[in-house]
Amino acid sequence: MDLEETKLPGVGLRHDFTTARGRRIGVISTRGGERELLVYSQDDPDACHAVIDLDGDEAEVLAELLGQPRVIERLARLREQIEGLATEGIYLEDGSPYVGRTLGDAAIRSRTGASVVALVRNGEVVPSPVPSQQFRSGDKIVVVGTQEGVRATAELLHNG
């Protein structure tokens, strides 16, 4: 599936894709955090059949319904395929020494052997976060590794 990204100067970004059944759908993400869900007309792919305005909370709920569970489902299927693989979402709380620090600062892979495969923030999934990704309180850090490595990562993120 191809995802098209279009910069909208002064507004934000628009992402569009076409479903397997031929329906074109888009999302406009404004700089203010609002989202517009676009359902294009079947007769004219450049015309919108419906535009649904979503505030930040509504977009978060929709993202949670559509995005986060999909990542977790995929990881669960992967875990079933590979014996000994553990996957866990670890929430970063206010007292963590890593709030405000980066993934690189935590050195999770070299210290625990586990890998951070995604970060979920405000309902948005950041797959394969880069070392410069800064952690915030409330982030869900999705980790894959041995059961021991995942436990060590939780301990590291909670207590340093």
Q: What's 138's domain CATH number?
A: 3.30.70.1450
Domain count, the chain: 2
Please say whether the beta carbons of 12 and 19 come within 8 A.
no
**Would the pTM of this model clear 0.85, i.e. be above it?**
no
Most confident region among 43-47, 49-53, 144-148, 151-155 by mean pLDDT: 151-155
Half-sphere exposure (CA, 13 Å, Cβ side) for 105?
13
Residue 133 has pLDDT above 90, yes or no: yes
pLDDT, position 101: 95
Closest CA to 75 of 84, 88, 58: 88
Q: What is the pLDDT of residues 9-60, one digit of tens each?
A: 878 888 898 888 888 999 888 877 778 899 998 888 778 888 999 887 787 7
The helix/strand/coil state of 83 is coil
Q: Which whole-number Å values give the CA distances from 130 to 70, 116, 117, in the listed order?
A: 21, 10, 10
Question: Which whole number is the average pLDDT over 115-136?
Answer: 89
Q: Which domain holds residue 105?
A: 82-159
pLDDT, position 12: 80
| Residues 64 and 86 reside in one and the same domain | no
pLDDT, position 71: 58
Residue 32 counted as domain residue: yes
Q: What is the distance, to the nearest Å, from the Cα of residue 147 to the centroid of all Cα atoms in its chain?
A: 23
Packing angle, helices 68-81 and 56-66, rounded to 10: 20
Pick the last residue of a domain from 68, 96, 121. Answer: 68
Confidence of residue 82 (pLDDT cuts 50, 70, 90): low
| Residues 60 and 122 reside in one and the same domain | no
- Separation between Cα atoms, residue 77 and residue 62, nearest integer Å: 23
Question: Which whole number is the average pLDDT over 114-121?
Answer: 90
Question: Which whole number is the average pLDDT over 116-129?
Answer: 87
Pick the last residue of a domain from 12, 37, 68. Answer: 68
Pick the last residue of a domain from 39, 68, 97. Answer: 68
Query: How big is the CA angle at 71 (ends 158 and 75), to the nearest 5 degrees?
Result: 80
Residues 6+ apart with CB under 8 A from 126: 118, 119, 120, 133
The helix/strand/coil state of 93 is coil
Tell me the pLDDT of the chain averaged across its residues.
Answer: 84
H helices then E strands: how many in the chain?
Answer: 5, 9
Residue 150 counted as domain residue: yes
| Residues 89 and 55 reside in one and the same domain | no
* Residue given tokens 């406009």 in the structure block: 28
